[in-house]
């Protein structure tokens, strides 16, 4: 029996969307089995891992002095190799427990989605971390391609399809045709930059210090890229930087939209520059096909309207933007040709 057949019968095939904010794991024939924050809680003195995922995220900004909750991924790439390896090991082992015992006999074959703009050194770091975390064969795929496949774009056709995948650390913009990326732009701006813009706005305008979790909640509740009717306001609690005591202020959706304008402009410029470099025949296809948005940032209210206004093209938000890349890896896992052995 060939190595390929043995691997198919006795190993688990896993697709990983290794995101800056969240990690999603897809197991072949099972679907998405895991969706957890890319956060790890460690004991600082020994770097012992205490919690991973949702439990670790709940500890952000609330840990005692000897415990620290960290994000080992930054801007779509590995910032802390040792902790990323531990996080991957936790997620891979958790995914393996969902499959029959005979599928656990060999090391899992792992397909990892990575940003299109990362270097060869960063590529190698992702592969090495996955292998040390327990993976057998590791194959990398560019995130925009996985996202395009995941949202159902006809990537194999001889026509242009455009995907904008706005993740936690990066925004991936790509024009795809004949199963290949014709033009792409990767900018290290995403959901984390939007959160940071809100944190800085609260400090600058209200002298109020807020944490990452609070900023994320403000973004979800009030964040927008385009004016809407009946805009809400929200009470925000934080630490007054002058009196050093807790304080509550009320903020509006309009001011948060202004606070988010700089990172949103960076995303729009990435889309525009990709369109400018697009071959004329493929650009003509986009007039009818438009632009597809994926990733968590795609859910920012009014972003599709703003992009339509800025580009003149129809813009659509995918049905499950958060799951797009993971679903794409799942489709690719059905193709045995992706493996080198």
Q: What is the DSSP letter of 313?
A: S
Find out whether 218 is annotated in a ligand binding site: yes
Identify which of 337, 340, 325 has the alpha carbon closest to the alpha carbon of residue 150: 325
- 219 in a labelled binding site: yes
Contact 167, 21 (CB under 8 A): yes
Residue 278 is encoded by which pair of tokens? Answer: 């697009």
Cβ neighbours of residue 330 closer than 8 Å, sequence gap 6 or more: 15, 26, 28, 31, 32, 150
Please name the helix (run of DSSP H) or strand (run of DSSP E) that holds residue 308, with its range, or none.
helix 303-311
CB 194 within 8 A of CB 203: no
Q: What is the Cα–Cα distance from 108 to 338, expressed in whole angstroms?
A: 14
> According to the annotation, is 169 in a ligand binding site?
yes
Q: Is 269 marked within a binding site?
A: no
Helix and strand element counts for the chain (H, E) = 12, 18
Q: Is 21 annotated as a binding residue?
A: yes
Q: Is 200 helix (H, G, I), strand (E, B) or coil?
A: helix
216 is in an annotated binding site: yes
Annotated binding site: 20-22, 168-170, 216-219
Annotated binding site for ATP: 20-22, 168-170, 216-219
């Amino acid at each position: 029996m060939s190595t390929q057949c043995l691997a198919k019968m006795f190993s688990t095939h896993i697709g990983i969307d290794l995101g800056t904010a969240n990690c999603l794991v897809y197991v072949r024939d099972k679907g998405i089995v895991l969706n957890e924050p890319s956060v790890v809680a460690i004991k600082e003195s020994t770097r012992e891992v205490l919690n991973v995922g949702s439990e670790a995220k709940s500890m952000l900004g609330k840990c005692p002095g000897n415990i620290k909750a960290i994000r080992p991924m930054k801007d779509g790439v590995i910032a802390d190799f040792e902790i990323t390896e531990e996080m991957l090991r936790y997620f891979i082992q958790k995914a393996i427990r969902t499959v029959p015992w005979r599928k656990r006999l060999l090391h899992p074959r792992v397909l990892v989605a990575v940003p299109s703009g990362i270097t060869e050194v960063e590529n190698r770091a992702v592969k090495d971390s996955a292998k040390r975390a327990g993976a057998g064969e590791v194959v990398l795929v560019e995130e925009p391609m996985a996202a395009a496949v995941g949202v159902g774009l006809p990537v194999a056709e001889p026509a242009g399809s455009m995907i904008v995948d706005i993740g936690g650390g990066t925004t991936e913009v790509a024009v795809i045709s004949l199963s290949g990326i014709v033009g792409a732009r990767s900018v290290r701006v995403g959901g984390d930059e939007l959160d940071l813009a809100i944190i800085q706005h609260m400090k600058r305008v209200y002298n109020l210090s807020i944490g990452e979790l609070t900023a994320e909640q403000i973004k979800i509740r009030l964040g927008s890229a385009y004016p809407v009717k009946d805009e809400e306001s929200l009470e925000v609690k934080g630490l007054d930087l002058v009196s050093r005591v807790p304080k509550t202020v009320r903020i509006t959706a309009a001011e948060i939209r202004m606070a988010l304008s700089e990172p949103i402009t960076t995303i729009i410029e990435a889309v525009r520059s990709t369109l400018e470099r697009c071959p004329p025949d493929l650009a003509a296809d986009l007039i009818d096909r438009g632009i597809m948005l994926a990733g968590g940032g795609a859910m920012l209210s009014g972003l599709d309207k703003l992009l339509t206004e800025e580009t003149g093209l129809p813009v659509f938000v995918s049905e499950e933007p958060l799951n797009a890349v993971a679903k794409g890896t799942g489709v690719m896992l059905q193709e045995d040709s992706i493996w080198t052995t």
